[in-house]
Amino acid sequence: MHNNIKMKAENVDFFYGPRQALKDINLDICEKRVTAIIGPSGCGKSTFIRLLNRMNELIPNTSLKGRILLDGEDIFGQQVDAVGIRRRVGMVFQKPNPFPKSIFENVSYGLHVNGVKDKKLIEKKVVSSLEKAALWDDIKDRLHESALKLSGGQQQRLCIARCLAVEPEVLLFDEPCASLDPISTGKIEELIMELKKYYTIVIVTHNMQQAARISDHTAFFLLGELIEMGKTQDIFTAPKDKRTEDYITGRFG
Amino acid sequence: MRTKDISQKIGFAALFMCMLVTLFFLGAIIYFIAARGIKVISWEFLTQVPKAGMTQGGVAPAIVGTLYITLGAIAVSLPLGLACAIYLCEYSPKGIFVNIIRMSINNLAGVPSVVFGLFGLAVFVKFFKFGVSILSGSLTLGILALPVVISATQEALTAVPLSLREASLALGATKWETIKKIVLPTALPGILTGIILSIGRVAGETAPILFTAATFYTRRYPDSVFSEVMALPYHIYALMTEGAHPKEQTAIAYGCALILLVLVLAISGAAIFIRQRQRIRNA
Ligand SMILES: Nc1ncnc2c1ncn2[C@@H]1O[C@H](COP(=O)(O)OP(=O)(O)O)[C@@H](O)[C@H]1O
Ligand SMILES: [Mg+2]
């Protein structure tokens, strides 16, 4: 398997105030693959994934050491604008968080803030994004109804559609199914498998079966450290580190 | 078990009684004002200027004056208060400095309104030479309303979930776009509540306009923001304390009070209507 490296963490330390949440993380994220991040609660999975689109800098008193590269360029570099990075690296959150607006407005929002003015184009992109997120058939005749009327699973797919509309290169998912029922979860998983043809995907998950089902690579975090990373198959069948094995076999976590 | 049951019942009964007492006073106010005020209300009363030493004609200039001053005050306090609250909530670095500002603003809400009146007299009437005018009165009342607008807006802004802000930022929106397009619309119902409250306060204030905007008697309608005007609250005050016909004047004062009540309710009603519509849109 020949993989291009899309994103790369180099010697990343991250601190909330004096507390170190990530310790010397080195990790490669391959283009058009699904990378899963697993590990027990509080081990720094969200902290790490939120560094990849610079969401963590919204929290005061944090500090970062090391570099995070997107196509070889440091996303925290002097000349680099966080807004531009977030356009290229989209994010879907743990709890569906649609705007209290119509379905259409939710999807078109990202286009508006990125300066797309052409109404025809916006409409086209809204439809295609909803199609890509496998939501179009559910909602095609209620585009202008409030997004908050959708079910949890539909809301999460809407959040994915909203993300796709701005045509990011990388998609980050932070436990996207944590608040969903098994059927909705299945739909999101199918969707992620489909999306990896076009996007580089990083997914944080609590659910090891999920990681095993949908990811190509898996990284195991523990107490802020990257313990082991490799092909998902290898991690789940022949983990090199004892702690990985303990976690995967359910001995803690 | 039994005694618990009984004490609970007594508790509820006491709460219920308190609510009844409140309702009673509210009803009594409305009843007495309405019963006495309605007697003098007529088309003429609403549309004519005062005549014969305040005992005849109407109070139209006072209605118009109150409307102008109130709208003027909102025009002053709304943009200022919004901007201030947005800055404090969204932009200012958190720390002692901002806490002191917040505390000062809250204290400003407790300053007696006659102090605002003197301030307005010194600053707007005298220093800026706006004279006794709609402009001076609106500015004074606007500043009086600021703390209410600011704290209500701050509350409404803080109540907007972080998850919505994050969603917007993660889509490549700037902070300002996020505030403008997501945070403010979501917070609008709460902001409107603050404005409703401040309207109630502003429209009925007497002391701040005493020296800055109001005159007891004019036959003219204002022709610019530099005109002095009659205003309902001050008119009531004057009717009850000056003049040579206490009996007729008292009746007119109740009429004015009724109009003021209806005016405030109407403005608040409009704001509540907008708020409900926004809530439905947001839901
Ligand atoms: N905003 C924050 N401020 C301070 N500490 C935080 C914050 N967010 C997370 N942490 C701490 O950082 C560690 C990692 O958290 P997180 O990345 O959310 O873990 P995970 O997503 O793996 O459950 C935890 O110990 C948590 O308490
Ligand atoms: Mg997490």
- pLDDT, tens only, A23-69: 999 999 999 999 999 999 999 999 999 999 999 988 888 999 999 99
pLDDT band at B43 (very low <50, low <70, confident <90, very high): confident
What is the predicted pLDDT for the residue at A2?
59
Q: Is the CB of A43 under 6 A from ligand 1?
A: yes
Residues of chain A with pLDDT under 50: 253
Q: What is the pLDDT of residues B199-219, one digit of tens each?
A: 887 888 888 888 888 877 766
Ligand nearest to the CA of A176: 2
Does residue B51 surpass a pLDDT of 90? Answer: no
Q: What pLDDT, on a 0 to 100 scale, did the predictor assign at position B214?
A: 80
What ipTM score was computed for the predicted complex, to two decimals? Answer: 0.91
Run of H or E including A171: strand A170-174
Report the Cα–Cα distance between both ends of chain B, in Å, rounded.
42
**Architecture of the domain defined by A5-94+169-248:** 3-Layer(aba) Sandwich (3.40)
Cβ burial, residue B5 (10 Å; 0-12/13-18/19+): exposed
Is B55 a residue whose pLDDT tops 80?
Answer: no
Task: For chain B, list the strands marked E by DSSP.
Answer: 50-51, 56-57
Is A50's C-beta closer than 6 angstroms to any atom of ligand 1? Answer: no
Residue of A nearest to B282 (CA): A100
For residue A99, the 8-state DSSP code is -
Using pLDDT thresholds of 50, 70 and 90, give the confidence band for residue B83: very high
Proportion of chain B above pLDDT 90, given as a percent:
37
pLDDT for the residue A251: 67
Domain ranges of chain A: 5-94+169-248
- Amino acid in the structure at residue B19: M
Q: What is the pLDDT of residues A239-248, one digit of tens each?
A: 899 999 989 8
Chain B residues closer than 8 Å to A60 by CB = 94
Give the pair of three-digit tokens for residue B103.
């505390």
Residue A53: list chain B partners with CB under 8 A.
170
Option in A97, A146, A166 nearest B163 (CB): A97
Indicate if the alpha-carbon torsion angle B253, B256, B261, B264 is positive or negative.
negative
Distance A91 CA to ligand 1 centre (A): 18
Q: What is the pLDDT of residue B282?
A: 63
Q: What is the pLDDT of residue B54?
A: 64
Does the pLDDT value for residue B94 go beyond 80?
no
Is the beta carbon of A45 within 6 A of some atom in ligand 1?
yes
Q: Does residue B101 have a pLDDT over 90?
A: no
Is the pLDDT assigned to residue B52 strictly greater than 80? no
Task: List, for residues B143-188, the tens digit of each pLDDT value.
Answer: 999 988 998 899 999 999 999 999 999 999 999 999 999 999 999 8
Is residue A220 within a helix (H) or strand (E), and if so which, with residue range? strand A217-222
Q: How far is the CA of B240 from the centre of ligand 2 (A)?
A: 67
The alpha-carbon gap from A156 to the nearest alpha carbon of chain B, in Å, equals: 12
Domains annotated for chain B, with CATH where assigned, are: 44-282 (1.10.3720.10)
Higher per-residue confidence, A11 vs B273: A11
Residue B131: per-residue pLDDT = 86
Q: What is the pLDDT of residue A168?
A: 94
What is the rounded average pLDDT for all residues in chain B?
Answer: 87
CB B47 within 8 A of CB B271: no
CB contact under 8 A, A55 and B181: no
Interface test with A, best of B168, B171, B279 (most A CBs within 10 A): B171
CA–CA distance from B213 to each of A148, B70, B205 (Å)? 48, 11, 12
Tell me if B160 sits within 8 A of B186, measured CB to CB: yes
Cβ distance B161 to A97 less than 8 Å, yes or no, reads: yes
Q: Which of A104-108, B30-34, B66-70, B202-206 has the highest mean pLDDT?
A: A104-108
Question: What pLDDT shows up at residue B21?
Answer: 94
Q: Taking a C-beta distance cutoff of 8 angstroms, is the pair A126, A108 a contact?
A: yes
Tell me, yes or no, if B6 comes closer than 8 A to chain A by beta carbon.
no
Q: What's the confidence (pLDDT) of residue B53?
A: 65
Question: How far is the centre of ligand 1, averaged over its atoms, from the C-alpha of A241 (Å)?
Answer: 24
